[in-house]
Amino acid sequence: MPMSNLPNRMPYVLITPARNEERFIEKLIRSVISQTVPPSRWVIVNDGSTDATPSIVSGYVAKYDWIELLNLSPHRDRSFAAKVYAFNAGFERVKNLEYEVIGNLDSDISFEPDYLEFLMNKFQEDPNLGVAGTIFHQEGYSSATDSFEGQNHVAGGCQLFRRHCFQDIGGYIPNNAGGIDWIAVTTARMKGWKTRSFREKFFFHYRSLGTAERSLLASTFSYGEKDYYLGGHPLWEVFRVAYRATKKPYLLGGLALFSGYVSAFLRRMDRPVSDELMRFHRREQMKKLKTIFKSLLSFKKIDSFEVKPT
């Protein structure tokens, strides 16, 4: 059994909200207990599961004193706001402990034994790093090549926060429609913290993004809605839709994303973000587009360059 609180290491804690995750949670548990540098405490919050999730976790709690199972009352909804409430319940169990980094892990991921040590080293190397994570893979998808977000966004499946950064942003903001991870990371950058999704490591995500209780196209439609209510610039969305149309399911994915954005616009869907955060977000998007255009122009110049015979 690995020992926690190794000398000369930044102490860190983890929280995992879990609801009906019997198919995947043991993969995550095996990943965490195999870490070269395990956490000081890991609270797994059973958010009213009706399957074998709590019994699976209980078996490991009996063997590892740094793993804690917190059971919440059953409820019907599986929403992003519910995930925040579950996380906050876990946070209450660790907030008075000594730690420098707090991590939020989804219950349907896995990673290599040195994964968390790698991220902790990044925090040690850069005191301005506020949020850290890595790219991720899932069947038929890689955030390294298929995402339109860029390296400054840290995917919600594994987000590690420096303690002071997490306090600075006010933690996670509950929102039924989603975007809680994006709001946290973008707010951190707005407040001057560095955020980074490192490419040297990755975690594997077993469930397709946003498809816990809906189809892939329905999930993509909701991402379009999210792009609107998080304040995304219309011009950025045009290019995002065009990019999404080149991925499976071809064309249909782009149409679903576009339909979600337009539907949210026509309904004037409530935005859970401040005007300040929306302006910051749009400035970032326009800066990214300029960078993309410059790189494309540079590629065309190189592609059209002719070597004259000597």
CATH 3.90.550.10 fits 12-205, yes or no: yes
How is the chain split into domains, by residue range?
A: 12-205, 216-299
Cβ count within 10 A of residue 299: 10
In eight-state DSSP terms, residue 37 is: S
pLDDT score of 207:
84
Locus of tokens 């059971």 = 71
Residue 44 · residue 31 · CB < 8 Å: no
Cite the beta strand spans of 139-262 per DSSP E: 141-142, 158-162, 194-205
Helix (H, G, I), strand (E, B) or coil at 174: coil
Backbone angles phi, psi at 141, to 5 degrees: -150, 140
Reading the chain (310 residues) residue by residue, the pLDDT tens digits are: 333 444 458 999 999 999 999 999 999 999 999 999 999 999 999 999 999 999 999 999 999 999 999 999 887 565 678 999 999 999 999 999 999 999 999 999 999 999 999 999 999 999 999 999 999 999 888 998 887 778 999 999 999 999 999 999 999 998 877 789 999 999 999 999 999 999 999 999 998 765 455 688 998 999 899 999 999 999 999 999 998 899 888 899 999 999 999 999 999 999 989 999 999 999 999 998 998 888 878 765 544 333 333 3
Q: Are 273 and 286 in contact (CB under 8 A)?
A: no
User: What is the CB neighbour count within 10 angstroms for residue 78?
Assistant: 13
138 neighbors 210 (Cβ within 8 angstroms): no
CA-CA distance, 298 to 7, in Å (whole number)? Answer: 49
- pTM confidence score: 0.86
Specify whether the backbone of 153 is left (phi greater than 0), alpha (psi in -120 to 50) or beta. beta
